[in-house]
Amino acid sequence: MNPLYINPTDETPNVILDPANNKFAFVGNSYPENSTKFYTPILNWMREFIDQSQTFDLAIEFNFDYFNTSSAKYILEILRLIQEHQNKGNKCTIRWYYFEDDTDMLEAGEDYQMTINVPFEIVERSE
């Protein structure tokens, strides 16, 4: 399956979904004017990937500086797809980064951790 790469902008994250190199990451800001338009191709790619990849252990990183509330909904959808992939017997891990002092991003990670039943590591990073 072809990888999905999206270059970052001020308001959208760098997206790396690359099974061949086993690299899955979201890095940067996420506050697009229209979150549906930005996240729909990503969700479509993820769905196709989990449909096609019956056995594939998946480790994914979320390294956001900031995301708005409408992105929050789509991040949850991505996490739900990862859980679905795990439920098929694949080993999945999520790594959630937050800057030291950024309690909002820490809490956001904790909220997702409580919602999703996938090994979920929260990691502090320094500026």
Site string for another protein, 12-41 (x = CB under 8 A): -------------------xxxxxxxxx--
CA distance 5 to 25: 10
Q: Which of these ranges, 18-26, 47-55, 82-90, 103-111, lies near another protein under the rule CB under 8 A?
A: 103-111
Min. distance of Cβ 101 from another protein in angstroms?
Answer: 4
Q: How far is the CB of 79 from another protein (least distance, A)?
A: 10
Question: What span, in angstroms and rounded, lies between the C-alpha atoms of 54 and 39?
Answer: 23
- Relative orientation angle of helices 69-87 and 35-52, to the nearest 10 degrees: 10
Region of 14-22, 45-53, 64-72, 87-95 interacting with another protein (CB under 8 A): 64-72
Residue 1 or 72 with smaller CB distance to another protein: 72
Instruction: Take residue 114 and report the two structure tokens written for it.
Output: 């409580």
Strands (E) across the chain are located at: 4-6, 14-18, 23-30, 58-67, 92-99, 120-125
By CB under 8 A, is residue 70 in contact with another protein?
Answer: yes
Number of H-type helices and E-type strands within the chain: 3, 6
Binding part of the chain for another protein, among 14-22, 54-62, 90-98, 101-109 by CB under 8 A, reads 101-109
